[in-house]
Structure 1
Amino acid sequence: MTQGVQVAAVYVRDQDEALAFYVDKLGFLVHTDVRNGDYRWLTVQHPDQPSFQLGLLLPGPPVHDEATAQALHAMVAKGAMPALVLEVDDCRAAYERMRALGVEFTQEPVDRYGTVDAGFRDPSGNGWKMIQTRG
């Protein structure tokens, strides 16, 4: 039996803002963008990983009540959600390119553990680590 993770989600404060960030600044592609009433299922994928999608979801109905949605928004904005990891061939070059596009970095590239890594946030506050592929 084959198993694997197909979609992992991050909570965002605004799906259009998140979509622009992930597509225009990180180079992801839109995979699915459908609506069912007020609910929007929006996923993107990295061009080098076609079998994996990242869901850009709003906390709230139908999954959460309003109080839970507000708490999740606050946690994301404070950077309290787990960090996501983006693997790149050249961390310093990706840092310069993304910084020029307006990405908010929380850590400049640093040499450690035999590689280079940097930290950034999406517009909703979700934390990312960008790690250079070991080579």
Structure 2
Amino acid sequence: MTNIALAYSPITVDDVDAAIPFYRDGLGLEVVNDVAYDGHRWVSFGFPGQPGLSLVVSDPTAGRSPEDGEALQRLVVKGSGPGPYVFTTTDLDATFEKLREFGAEVLQEPKEQGWGPRDAAFRDPSGNHIRLNQV
């Protein structure tokens, strides 16, 4: 049987430097790689307890054609880029308070969802929709 696992998930941001503290300090992820090439930057974050899985933030034109990068940039700036990006946490209330104190834009305070988990929602500094589910 062949095993398949997710290695990384990209998130496009309009400012990589502003994204680092949100994902590192706000969500508690670890910077595992920081690569600059040809005027672009890719920063990989690791998940404690999930070796081999990374979240990679980069600017809209990193690794894309100029046209695709410009189209993605417009979506990111409007807050309508890809997503939502859903994370899980064992303590939703503590993670929510940490992100709120960190200054993240709150979209939804923690609440029970009729369709599933207790969750909350934020926007990262670039406007990406981030959801947190209690596990």
**Letter of the 1:45 counterpart:** G
Query: How big is the shift at 1:24?
Result: 1.5
Counterpart residue number, 2:104: 103
Counterpart residue number, 1:69: 69
Report the RMSD for the aligned CA atoms in angstroms.
1.7
State the TM-score, normalizing by the size of structure 2: 0.87
Query: How big is the shift at 1:36?
Result: 2.4
Query: How big is the shift at 1:61?
Result: 5.0
**Letter of the 2:87 counterpart:** L
Q: Distance in 1 between matches of 2:63 and 2:118?
A: 40
Please say if residues 44 and 54 of structure 2, whose CA atoms lie closer than 8 Å, have aligned partners that are also in contact: yes
Q: Distance in 1 between matches of 2:27 and 2:90?
A: 14
1:4-61 CA-to-partner distances (Å, cap 9, x unmatched) read 2101101000111111211111111011112223232321122222221011011115
State the identity as a percent.
34
Query: How big is the shift at 1:91?
Result: 1.4
> After the TM superposition, which of the residue ranges 42-51 and 20-29 deviates more from structure 2?
42-51
Q: Distance in 2 between matches of 1:41 and 1:56?
A: 6
Q: Distance in 2 between matches of 1:52 and 1:60?
A: 23
**Letter of the 2:113 counterpart:** R
Counterpart residue number, 2:86: 85
**Letter of the 1:132 counterpart:** Q
State the TM-score, normalizing by the size of structure 1: 0.87
Alignment coverage as a number of residue pairs? 132
**Letter of the 2:10 counterpart:** A
Change (3 A) 1:63 1:115: closer
Structure 1 unaligned spans of 5+ = none
Q: Distance in 1 between matches of 2:104 and 2:49?
A: 21
Counterpart residue number, 1:13: 14
Q: Is residue 130 from structure 1 mapped to residue 117 from structure 2 by the alignment? A: no
Query: How big is the shift at 1:3?
Result: 2.0
- Corresponding residue to 1:120 among 112, 119, 122: 122
